[in-house]
Amino acid sequence: MKNNLIEYQEKTFEDIKHIDEYGNEYWYARELMIALNYKRWDKFHNVINNAKIACEKSNNIIDNHFSHVGKMVNIGSGAKRNQNDYKLSRYACYLIVQNADARKEIVALGQTYFAVQTRKMEITEKEYDKLSEDEKRFYQRDLTRKTLIIKIRQVK
């Protein structure tokens, strides 16, 4: 049962993760909203606003983690309108799930997922700092190769 939950949470949050041309991970808020079983944007936007407050109170720059974006979406009859969204960093997602409705099982899974993944990234950064310049170049080449493989798979 525990392994099934781990696979579920990783699949859920990994499936909606995006990677930009520089290899940076991000999530769209509207996709995260659906993954966390929120039905209405206004309710989820309140969670985002609370997460932004936590970000600011932690002396982080909000725009570095919550990048406002807009998308044109179809609303029927060929008409389109602009829909507000956010590109979120892993840290922003972590803050969002910490401020979301903990009564939802998927929120609890999200809290665990983003806490564990954030810790893994911290450990990786510490290890990276200890590498020689040659090792860092090799690591960056390998990371670029992996990013290209992921992009190719996304295109297929």
How far apart CA 110 and CA 100 sit, in angstroms, is: 10
Q: Sorting pLDDT into bands at 50, 70 and 90, what band is 128? A: low
Does an H or E element contain 123, and which?
helix 105-129
* Contact criterion met (CB below 8 Å) for 93 and 118: no
pLDDT per residue as tens digits for the range 36-86? 999 999 999 999 999 999 999 999 999 999 999 988 878 777 788 888 999
Q: Which residue has the higher pLDDT, 104 or 62?
A: 62
Using CA atoms, how far apart are residues 35 and 90, in angstroms rounded to an integer? 15
Kindly report the pTM of this predicted structure. 0.69
Give the least confident one: 45-59, 93-107, 117-131: 117-131
Report pLDDT digits (tens) over 2-33: 454 444 455 678 889 999 888 889 999 999 99
Q: How sure is the predictor about 123, in pLDDT bands with cuts at 50, 70 and 90?
A: low
Backbone angles phi and psi of 101, in degrees to 5: -70, 100
> d(Cα 149, Cα 27) in Å, to the nearest integer?
19
